[in-house]
Structure 1
């Protein structure tokens, strides 16, 4: 669990991970050393795993996203997982329960590119894909409370 001060630090960092320690300390009304210590403890506890950059795939030419449900054929689970890991257009993949083993998100430039990617998998798995029209909820943190 996070106390109110840790929660505030995390919220500020989610909004701007490049904020200076001095500015962060001012915004949470702590000294820089105290803020630094809190950050260190949040990292040690695994609450903060990384300070990252948020890249817009569209700016790189990836104008389409697809969600693909993947059901490996018998005995092909590990091969399919390796393929997914090795294909750079797969930006996320979850191993799930239910009829499908994987649900993955791809960033692609065209439907032809999607077809070429799925062609690499279809001899080892059944796939079902959907093109993303909009993303009303972007990836976000669970409640910090």
Structure 2
């Protein structure tokens, strides 16, 4: 991983639709060189895929919340199997501490959030926090590289 790979990762996380031609111009490298670097980043598992960010509000899912569940009443594997099939759960993280899982959801209404929480109650102690706003969202995830290499930016 070098400075050019770092820049490719940064640019693609800012705009995953950026073409190889655009990357080539931005980084002053040939298209074959960019293609090879992208291939290596994908094969090594650094780039897991390409996606599109969707505005929850724009598609009618403006109620977002963090749901925590602790004191699990079943095996973790059983709970995870249940959550995988729950379309309103956007993220589910098994964590340390008093709660076993943190989940993020986006639903259309408080009524839908209540129905989701009702589905989860049989599995353990549920705590729900409504998301008012997100001051940090979709920050690019970049590797730590030596500061001297960033100076040329």
Same fold (TM over 0.5): yes
Shift of 1:139: 2.9
Structure 1's consecutive aligned runs of 4 or more residues displaced over 4 angstroms after TM superposition are none
Runs of 5+ unmatched residues, structure 1: none
CA distance in 1, matches of 2:73, 2:21: 56
CA distance in 2, matches of 1:61, 1:74: 33
SS in 2 for 1:123: helix
- Name the counterpart of 1:141: 140
CA distance in 1, matches of 2:75, 2:33: 52
Shift of 1:51: 1.3
- Name the counterpart of 1:8: 7
SS in 2 for 1:133: coil
CA distance in 2, matches of 1:15, 1:141: 7
For residues 45-124 of structure 1, the aligned pairs below 5 Å read 45-124=44-123
- Name the counterpart of 2:18: 19
Shift of 1:72: 4.7
When the two structures are superposed, what TM-score results if normalisation uses the length of structure 1? 0.91
CA distance in 2, matches of 1:30, 1:9: 11
CA distance in 1, matches of 2:83, 2:71: 11
When the two structures are superposed, what TM-score results if normalisation uses the length of structure 2? 0.87
Tell me if structure 2 keeps the 8 A contact 1:94–1:103: yes
Q: Provide the aligned length of Structure 1 versus Structure 2.
A: 144
SS in 1 for 2:35: helix
Shift of 1:79: 3.0
Deviation digits for residues 28-57 of structure 1 (CA, Å, limit 9, x no counterpart): 111111111111111111111111111111
CA distance in 2, matches of 1:135, 1:110: 19
Runs of 5+ unmatched residues, structure 2: 145-153
CA distance in 2, matches of 1:20, 1:68: 38
Tell me if structure 2 keeps the 8 A contact 1:68–1:104: yes
- Name the counterpart of 1:44: 43
- Name the counterpart of 1:130: 129
